[in-house]
Amino acid sequence: MQNKRILAVDPGYERLGIAVLENDKLLFSECFKTKKEDLHHERIKQVGERIQEVIDKYNPEIFAIEELFWGTNQKTALLVAETRGVLLFVASRNKLTVREFKPVEVKIAITGYGRSTKNQIMSMVPKIIKIEKDIKSDDEFDAIAVGITCFQTRIS
């Protein structure tokens, strides 16, 4: 897939990894945070507004998002699921092609191993794509990894 700009997201409720990639370069990334003291509907509104700002600034063609992994904390999983719904709505409203990837697909695309650790992902990402900034958040690395995974798959 050549010359496609991708907005990639590692969905979260308190922390959201966001990355914009084009070809072999990272154009933008951040770990967007919401405040615990804000009401639930305000937090997901903030997430939707932030994604819209990124779309407006970078004009991506594709929206890549990691599918939800249902861990042991069902309350958190439901909050993340609601956040994903807002993200998918904003992407669809902006007529972006939406691509969803399972966590294991991302791990295989980045490390070649479906059970790789966060540290292995964080180690491999800068070897795959040009990053010209210091990234400290694993959520940010995860968003970049989702974008790389999208680049490595074909879209018709």
**Cβ-contact 52, 69 below 8 angstroms:** no
Give the mean pLDDT of the chain: 92
**Cβ-contact 12, 134 below 8 angstroms:** no
**Cβ-contact 108, 124 below 8 angstroms:** no
User: What is the model's pTM?
Assistant: 0.93
Please give the CATH topology (third level) of the domain spanning 5-151. Answer: Nucleotidyltransferase; domain 5 (3.30.420)
At 94-144, the pLDDT tens digits run 999 999 999 999 999 999 999 999 999 999 999 999 899 999 899 999 999
Cβ-in-10-Å burial (0-12, 13-18, 19+) of 35 comes to exposed
Q: Which residues contact 42 (CB under 8 A, 6 or more apart)?
A: none
- The one-character DSSP state at 130 is B
pLDDT of 2: 57
pLDDT of 156: 41
Point out the residues that are catalytic.
10, 66, 139
Cβ-in-10-Å burial (0-12, 13-18, 19+) of 57 comes to exposed
Pick the closest to residue 77 from 140, 12, 32 (CA basis).
12
Does residue 20 carry a pLDDT above 50?
A: yes
Cα–Cα distance, 61 to 134 (Å, whole number): 26
End-to-end CA distance of the chain, in Å? Answer: 9
Q: What percent of the chain has pLDDT over 70?
A: 94
